[in-house]
Structures are given as C-alpha cells and as structure tokens.
C-alpha cells in the first residue's frame, strides 16, 4: 500500500529535520494552503500522541541505556495513489504533526514546487540563524586555562 521501499535519502532527512522544528504557526498555515489545492482524499492512518524512548550511549563502557521517554505527536497519512506523508514532532500538538505530514505527502506525490522550496528555505534560514545566535553567545563563555 505504501511507498516504503526505500529511504528518502539525505535530502529527505534534511527536509524532515527542518519541518519538525519549523515555526508552528507558519508550518500550519503553509500546510493549509497545500490542502486547499489537494486533489482526492487523504487517508489518516494515525494521528496521535505517544512516547519515543531515547537511549543514550555510555562513554565509559559503550553500553546503551534508556534515558527516558519523550512525548511526541505523530501523523501518518496516505493519498489514493499510496504516497505516504509522515510527521513527528516533540511535544503535544497534533495539528503541527499533521501539517508536517501534509507537506511530506505533497513532496512524495509531486516533488518539489516553488512554494514548498521557498518555505523550506525560509525555515532553514531561521533555524540556522537561531542556532548561530545561541552558539555565538556560548562562544563568549570559552575559557583558556593556564598553569602558573
């Protein structure tokens, strides 16, 4: 039923990384515009909250252990042709997960279009700028140790 044969590759991963951290209100508003133009029905396979267990690797003995669970929202949808859209974000916001899935489905069904490319570019720029700002602040706390 689903186009699950192969991984979407690094481009797909990069897109999903952006969508999962995109600004919520912009993400939802943009997904709405895609839904307006969607042909045919969308089948909702799952739209729920749940938990993702996060393991961590111990640096002393390389043993993986469970750190704890993270609350996530998940949306899993498909169109009539069997294309899959998937969204998962940390936190409790089913609309946000669904918006991510709608954009992912549009990409799977029709490939990139200009509007999606622009949205992704905007959000990528915003996220990079946020990280850059924070890490410049962090860099200001670097210390050099000297023994006398």
Partner 1 sequence: MAYVATRGGEKAIEQAERLFRQDLGTIDAARVETIRRTMPYLIDRVMGEASLYDEELAALALAQTGGELSEAVLVLRAWRTTQPRIAVARPVQQAELLTQRRISAAFKDIPGGQILGPTLDYSHRVLATDVLEGTPFAPPAVDMADHAAPQRQPPLADWQRQQGLVAPANASDVAAEDIPDLTREPLLFPASRAHRLQSLARAETGGVLALGYAAMRGYGNAHPTVNELRLAQAEVVVRHPRGTEFSAGRVRVSQAEVTSSMKGGYLELGYAATFGWNEVKVIAAATLDLNSAAAPVGSAMHEEFYLYHTESVEASGFCIHFKLPHYVTFQSVLDAMRDAKAKAAAATPAAPQMEPAE
Which of 34, 89, 99, 102 lies at the binding interface for partner 1 (CB under 8 A)?
89
Q: Is 47 exposed, middle or buried (0-12, 13-18, 19+ CB in 10 A)?
A: middle
Sequence-distant (6+) residues with CB within 8 A of 49 are 71, 72, 73, 74, 92, 94
Rule CB under 8 A: which of 16-55 touch partner 1?
16-17, 20-21, 48-55
d(CA 23, CA 34): 17
Which residue, 41 or 141, is less far from partner 1 as judged by CB?
141
* Contact window for partner 1 (CB under 8 A) among 27-35, 36-44, 60-68, 115-123: 60-68
Which of 36, 39, 40, 61 lies at the binding interface for partner 1 (CB under 8 A)?
61
We find the least distance from the C-beta atom of residue 49 to partner 1, in angstroms, to be: 6
Q: What 3-state DSSP class applies to 93? A: coil
Please tell me the count of residues contacting partner 1 according to CB under 8 A: 66
d(CA 85, CA 38): 13
* Contact window for partner 1 (CB under 8 A) among 27-35, 36-44, 111-119, 132-140: 132-140
């Amino acid at each position: 039923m689903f186009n699950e044969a192969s991984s979407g590759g690094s481009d797909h991963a990069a897109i999903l990384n952006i969508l999962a951290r995109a600004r919520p209100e912009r993400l939802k508003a943009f997904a709405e515009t895609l839904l307006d133009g969607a042909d045919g029905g969308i089948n909702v396979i799952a739209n729920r909250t749940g938990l993702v267990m996060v393991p961590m690797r111990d640096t002393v003995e390389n043993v993986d252990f469970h750190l704890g669970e993270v609350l996530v929202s998940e949306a899993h949808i498909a169109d009539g042709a069997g294309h899959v859209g998937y969204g998962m974000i940390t936190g409790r916001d089913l609309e946000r997960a669904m918006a991510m899935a709608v954009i992912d489905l549009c990409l799977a069904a029709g490939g990139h279009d200009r509007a999606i490319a622009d949205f992704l570019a905007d959000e990528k720029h915003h996220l990079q700028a946020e990280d850059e700002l924070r890490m410049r602040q962090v860099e200001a706390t670097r210390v050099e140790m000297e023994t006398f």
